[in-house]
A and B are shown apart, each in its own frame.
Chain A
Amino acid sequence: EEQLVESGGGLVQPGGSLRLSCAGSGFTFSRDWMSWVRQAPGKGLEWVANIKQDGSEKYYVDSVKGRFTISRDNAKNSLFLQMNSLRAEDTALYYCARDGRGAALDLWGQGTTVTVS
């Protein structure tokens, strides 16, 4: 069964850092672009960042540029999101997702919660 499992969320003070992880299984992780998406409390989905199969291309939403870094370790089937200089507005449920055909996100994890307070 194809699966994504996020971890690393928690409570952090403003200005602090956190590193999220996402473990993939049941599919060939190294063949796919991967993304992070978040949902703040009471708000809609927001795409955060994605990364190419070999890590050579990375894209970010403007609100996290310079603060968040997406990376991956294909040998360990893992995706990461290093979050620095965290703000209250970064409080959200963070999902990792696989980029499929036409940039559609065809596999999602259950999410990990980040609270900045």
Chain B
Amino acid sequence: QSALAQPASVSGSPGQSITISCTGTSSDVGAYNYVSWYQHYPGKAPKLLIYEVSNRPSGVSNRFSGSKSGNTASLTISGLQAEDETDYYCSSYTSSRIQVFGTGTKVTVL
């Protein structure tokens, strides 16, 4: 099972919106609405931002939103803030009944 493909880095200025893509296959992202997104500060526990493609857990800012089209899911961060600068990962349930993470994207706030 190969990792889902994410851009290595994405950057934006404060207040702007950025989008991170997550490309899989018809056996994972395209097969299920079980795509999640995580924010991860190195050395800390990852934090769930989005589950089931577009749902936000309680307490997560509405600046984070998710969507999916075909085999590609996306995370959009609106109103970019300095504190958003860190790593982001997508993950998907797969037809093999396991999960697979994306390759990870480093977000830089210019």
Contact = CB atoms under 8 A, between A and B. Distances in A.
- Whether chains A and B associate is yes
Interface in B29-63: 33-36, 38, 40, 44-48, 50-52, 55, 57
Interface of A: 35, 37, 44-47, 50, 59-62, 95, 97, 100-106, 108-111
Interface residues on B, range: 20 to 34
Majority SS of interface residues in chain A?
strand
Given A102-B34, A105-B46, A108-B46, 8 more contacts: A44-B89, A45-B91, A59-B97, A62-B1, A102-B33, A102-B35, A104-B34, A108-B47
B47 to A, nearest CB: 8
Nearest to A102: B52
B24 interface: no
Interface of B: 1, 3, 33-36, 38, 40, 44-48, 50-52, 55, 57, 89, 91, 93, 96-104
Contacts of B35: 102
A110 B42 CA distance: 11
Residue among B44, B89, B99, B100 having the largest count of chain A Cβ atoms under 10 Å: B99
A58 to B, nearest CB: 10
A97 B34 CA distance: 16
Contacts of A102: 33-36, 51-52, 55, 93
Contact of B48 (A61, A62, A104): A104
